[in-house]
Amino acid sequence: MSLTPLRKEFPLFLKPYLPNESIRTDDRPFITLTYAQSLDSRISKGKGIRTTISHLETKTMTHYLRLHHDGILIGSGTITADNPGLNCKIDEEKIQMNSPRPIIIDPNQNWNFKDSKIEELYLKNQGKSPIVFIKENADIKYPNENVNYERLKFNKDGFNWIDIFELLSKKYQMKSIMIEGGANVINRLLMKPELIDSLIITIGSVYLGKNGVEVSPSKALKLKDVNWWKGTTDSVMCARIDSIDD
């Protein structure tokens, strides 16, 4: 799907929330959590169902965000449901150069790069090759010379996010990563406010119903530095997480 021209007010609106090297003093990358939700806080109609929530003007905004990040991270539920491209089409002439590197959290190796949209775009020089996180000691189920598999210790809660971000920073020199979902990844990360630098959420004017995949952290959160943009059918909220509201 082709994009619409970027709404002219987005660069100024988003600037305070984009990766900014002066913000982080440790060696972890700048982390942006970003997704599109319905009025009833759902990000798809049901598990495994790809659902368009964003208007084309906020879809274009997502590609503008991709332009500003070194990596784009999603969970195995999203990659298997959506078969996303994860490239940046803001400038048709510079797609590969502008695209972030796809990062897939796939402990059980449900996803095969072969014949995926990411492979198709990579082979057409329209996207980057992926990094896939799998369990320590696991054999690689789908070996492929264009995939960087990274093995990590798998605890009772899965991978430790700090291990993921530190590896991406040290081994791949990533300074910024945008997290696009899905719900499991978002809900886990909302409970780690110290790791999240920005929240950029599109709210579409649609209800997706109780069978939809819900975004809702396990505890209440307070936000700060909140700013809103209002478009044709969607609004976008930018914010930072202040604290968990125990």
Ligand X SMILES: Nc1nc(=O)c(N)c(NC[C@H](O)[C@H](O)[C@H](O)COP(=O)(O)O)[nH]1
Q: How far is CA 93 from CA 58, 117, 119, 125, 200, in A?
A: 21, 19, 19, 11, 27
The residue among 99, 159, 158, 156 whose CA lies nearest residue 126 is: 99
Are 53 and 202 within 8 A, CB to CB? yes
Residue type (1 letter), 145: E
The one segment of 25-33, 46-54, 171-179, 214-222 that binds ligand X by CB under 6 A: 46-54
Distance CA 136, CA 64 (A): 35
- Considering only 14, 31, 73, 74, the residue that binds ligand X (CB under 6 A) is 74
- In the complex, the smallest distance separating the C-beta of residue 53 from ligand X, rounded to whole angstroms, is 3
Q: Does 111 bind ligand NAD (CB under 6 A)?
A: no
Which listed option, ligand X, ligand NAD, none, makes contact with residue 73 (CB within 5 to 8 Å by class)?
A: none
Among 32, 51, 60, 76, binds ligand X (CB under 6 A): 51
- Contacts with ligand NAD, 136-165, as mask; x by CB under 6 A: ----------------------xx------
Which listed residue (77, 85, 100, 231) binds ligand X by CB under 6 A? 85
Pick from 15, 47, 114, 219: which binds ligand NAD (CB under 6 A)? 47
Q: Which does 241 bind (CB under 5 to 8 A by kind): ligand NAD, ligand X, none?
A: none
**Three-class HEC string of 179-237:** EEECHHHHHHHHCCHHHCCEEEEEECCCCCCCCCEECCCCCCEEEEEEEEEECCCCEEE
Q: Of residues 18, 33, 36, 215, which one binds ligand X by CB under 6 A?
A: 36
